Amino acid sequence: MSAEPAPPPLGGTIEEKLYSVQYRHDKQSHISITHGDTCLERCGEEWGRPCTTFCPAKVYEWDGEKIAISYENCVECTSCLLGCPYRVIDWRLPRGGYGVHYRFG
């Protein structure tokens, strides 16, 4: 007897939920790394660059030399502010009218 796969979480998968989010993209980033040398020299070795794993929208990616920021993907959850062990992520709300626009509550 084979086990059936588990049903998706109530309301769908994270990817399905992210698909329902609308964005108004700004050409100006609302996210920056204040001390990139900390990411390069300390964070990877000591913590494994957690920003590349805890962001549900995969905004942060290590490109081998620095953290690449895809600010256009940001869902404004602020998990990066809580999860960065060195507090080097400068995150601000997008300018008025830009950013994420949620649908379906």
Tens digit of each residue's pLDDT (9 = 90 or more) over 38-55? 988 999 889 999 999 989
* Residue 1, pLDDT above cutoff 60: no
Domains of the chain, with CATH numbers?
Answer: 30-94 (3.30.70.20)
DSSP letter, residue 4 = P
The predicted pLDDT at position 16 comes to 74
If you average pLDDT over every residue of the chain, what do you get?
85
**Integer Cα distance of 58 and 25 in angstroms:** 16
In 3D space, the residue among 11, 46, 26 whose CA is nearest the CA of residue 95 turns out to be 26
Q: What does the pLDDT look like over 63-81, one tens digit per residue?
A: 988 999 999 889 899 999 9
